[in-house]
A = this chain, B = another copy of it.
Amino acid sequence: MRAKRTAALVGLDPRFDQLPAEIRRRAAERTSRSSDVWARAYEEFCCRIIDIVAPLVPAVKPQAAFFEECGPAGMTALGRVIRHARDRGLIVIADAKRGDIGSTAVGYARAWLAGDDTDAAPWGADALTVNPYLGADTLRPFADLARERGAGIYVLVRTSNPGARDYQDRRTADEPLYRAVARTVEALAAETRGEGRYGCVGAVVGATWPAELTELRQALPSAPLLIPGYGSQGGAAADVLPGLDADGLGALVNSSRGIIFAWERPELRDQFGPDRWEDAVLAATHEMARELPVSG
């Protein structure tokens, strides 16, 4: 974040119907099964997005679900996308929202968390999003392997969707449930912080709920935040600034569709059009980076 001077994070959420026509066509020429076509198109599209945004942002966040929908070929493509991003010097946060009990959690952690040695895991990401519903004991194996490998996790604390109210906001004796999850996250983050300001266990807190974001930034002094919901989900720059610390550090702010499908945005469509989609992606990334400056 210091090197790129921004908290902007680009989410890689490919959707086949929205890809540039040239990429859909080229993928279809090479293979037959539709899931293989999708996988190839996602790989080419994401790698080209990575080439555009790598000089401007510190990190990307591929969404595993879209690759998984393409079957094993999609998961192979996801591995290549992660490697390409890391080769370009980007931090990669795999948004796979995994979680399971003890010995099984170890399997997921080993699948995704690599730290500096990309080859240490099949999908060698720097960080993984993790679902806490099963309990604090199920976060421990992820935190332990993250620390061991110099990687990290982001625990879902307060998500960006309307349904975040359904369970995360349920009031326990004296607080909503998400605060109990946040306390676990802060404890694990403080424990893994070492000499740095932030530990290797962070929290996902949606940009669409500014009051909770402000509260959680204060309640989680050791935890890096991952803030989804900026842009197409309705969160604006002013909404997410409370999630950053005084230096503009301590949180990555994600935009997926607003960047990767930037040429479909009304204000950019006329200027660029579908043939100049890469220019639209570049312009949108520049704009987002400017809105989220790092001063520290």
Using a CB–CB cutoff of 8 Å, the interface residues on chain A facing chain B are 13, 15, 35, 63, 65-66, 68-72, 74-76, 79, 97-105, 107-108, 110-111, 122-123, 131-138, 156, 159-168, 170-173, 177, 180-181, 184
Q: How far is the CB of A66 from chain B (nearest CB, A)?
A: 5
What is the bound-complex CA distance between A138 and B133, given in angstroms?
14
A136: B residues at CB distance < 8 A? 163, 166-167
What is the bound-complex CA distance between A181 and B74, given in angstroms?
32
Q: How far is the CB of A165 from chain B (nearest CB, A)?
A: 7
Given contacts A35-B122, A101-B161, A180-B167, contact A107 B137 (CB under 8 A): no
A107-B65 in contact (CB<8A): yes
What is the bound-complex CA distance between A180 and B165, given in angstroms?
12
B131-A133 in contact (CB<8A): yes
A134: B residues at CB distance < 8 A? 97, 131, 156, 159, 161, 163-164, 168
A108-B75 in contact (CB<8A): no
A170: B residues at CB distance < 8 A? 170, 172, 177, 180
Given contacts A71-B79, A72-B122, A123-B71, contact A66 B104 (CB under 8 A): yes
A172: B residues at CB distance < 8 A? 170-172, 177
Output the nearest chain B residue to A170 by Cβ-Cβ distance.
Answer: B172
B184-A135 in contact (CB<8A): no
A70: B residues at CB distance < 8 A? 122
Across the interface, A111 reaches (CB within 8 A) one of B71, B165, B171, namely B71
A160: B residues at CB distance < 8 A? 101
A65: B residues at CB distance < 8 A? 98, 100, 104-105, 107-108, 111
A111-B166 in contact (CB<8A): no
Q: How far is the CB of A188 from chain B (nearest CB, A)?
A: 13
